[in-house]
Chains A and B, each alone.
Chain A
Amino acid sequence: MKTPIYFDYSATTPVDPRVAEKMCSCLTADGTFGNPASRSHQFGWEADAAVEQARKDVAALVNADPREIVWTSGATESDNLAIKGVAHFYQKKGKHIITCKTEHKAVLDSCRQLEREGFEVTYMDPEPSGLIDLDKLKAQFRDDTILVSIMHVNNEIGVIQDIRAIGELTREHKIIFHVDAAQSAGKAPIDLQDMKVDLMSFSAHKIYGPKGIGALYVRRKPRIRLEAQMHGGGHERGMRSGTLATHQIVGMGEAFRLAGEEMAADNERIRMLRDRLLDGLKDIEEVYINGDMEHRVPHNLNISFNFVEGESLIMALKDLAVSSGSACTSSSLEPSYVLRALGRNDELAHSSLRFSMGRFTTEEEIDFAIEKIRANIDKLRDLSPLWEMFKDGIDLNSIEWAAH
């Protein structure tokens, strides 16, 4: 077993060797290196064929028409194109947008930008489980609402929103529905013939494809229009210009094709590993699971260890590559905005760890992790004045803390 052990599959995944092999065949002079937009020779035709096969593979995983897939540089660009593209195209119809406080920053920051341009955005609170209450969502609908953007699977807590039900509501009210599916494609079933989703963002690197490539699904029936954000040669039917990156696209196509074949078996195995990890930790005192456990992808466990600060725990767990879910490890010292939106108090938001498992996680690695976590929780609680006070029966809320 090699350390550190990778438990951050929600951040990114390694490229599957089968995907890497396909990508390599699109780079060098003896491979499919042509420009897919070159219509005048065989090099271009071959590259175009490879790109179109990948488009079919991506569309097949989510049961869409290949003509509904637009290549982008990743889910962040897809979110930007969907939200700003719809807002700019349909602004004469209305200028109100609804989203949720637990969305990815690519959605939230696109909405903030639109607010600066004069749009009005409603940021909904999720339930304490992390899920959206449909009645509360419906209550936010207005005559000038043009777009609802709700993610399928949350990146920090892994909960699955009922996008099928939300799609029924938005379609009935003729509101466009965008879904960020960066964390769900290949992990939760998606059927776009059945779900009334109008726009859906995808990423390759979350499911064993390369970084730097993604796609946006744009529904044809009923037709959804977008104002392009990137102008140029009119690629991707004018919605996103720029020479197509054949090797990246082929990698994404292969990753999505493999996901379609292996999702069921992968999910079953990963669920077993996740439950093994949870079983190994759940009897520790003052442990809280963040987010609904039932409506959740199998590869995510987000857990708070009360009275232990997340960053110091991550430092102790140097053999495990995990993230705190809180932004403490980045330059900001704010606790996770996702956990705050669930109504978790600051202490628990400061004490969270996100474990995300994947295709290459093993049982041995899980058992090693359990042992390390248990030992270090004990060690850090021995150091924690809050733990000592808790053990002495002191209510921490009764103390007047000096916020700094």
Chain B
Amino acid sequence: MVQQDEQYTGVDGRLLQAVVENMKLPLLQVARQAELARMSGSTDTNFSSIELTADTALRLLDNYLLSTRLASRRGSLEFEPVSVSAVLTDIAHQLSKLADQQQCELQVNISGRYEPVIAHRAGLEAALMSLGYVFIEARSAQPVTSGKRIIRLGAHRGRSGIVAGIFTDSDSISNDMYKRAHSLYGHTRQSLPGLVAGSGAGVFVADSLLETMSTRLRVAHHQKFSGLAATLNPSKQLSLV
């Protein structure tokens, strides 16, 4: 069963998608030009920076478009058993360069061994990636704690499923802040002013993606770190031996 989500299929939604699709090309040109300069032997470190920033922006746009595609197909998405630890490890690998550039330390912490969760794999990866971008940006602007700025990709078993998300070693986000952000985004330049300087779009992209899997982001805690996470349903058919 397919439901048409009005915000993506209305005239404004489609216009936004078309504009976003168009914006990918110039970002791609910038990223690849910077990469070519690096490959050609340029020692200017700015090229690495530009390449990384442009690639990050490109991924965010792509993740937004994925969220719109998945939303328009809700009810007929291909769910499969997904290993949360494998996804978090893969995301950490993909975020590592950005974290280094932003002088943050990236960690993966899975409390225990879990059965796979039922999810749309690409959607889950895109959601955690988008969330990761925001938290790295946010944490890098905050003071160090005990000499570090730590971003932790973590998972633990919650009351109603596996809780997976991104956490930091600073008290960055509260329930009130997050709730207010949802009413502010789209209406103000800074939806999460206590967390990040920019719009924090990655949080809302992540939330949209997770919503297609019938879950949402919420403020959560993982071993004294706080952040945003989603609860995912474990697969009843498969268990890790």
Binding partners A and B: no
- The chain B residues found within 8 Å of chain A, CB to CB, are none
- The chain A residues found within 8 Å of chain B, CB to CB, are none
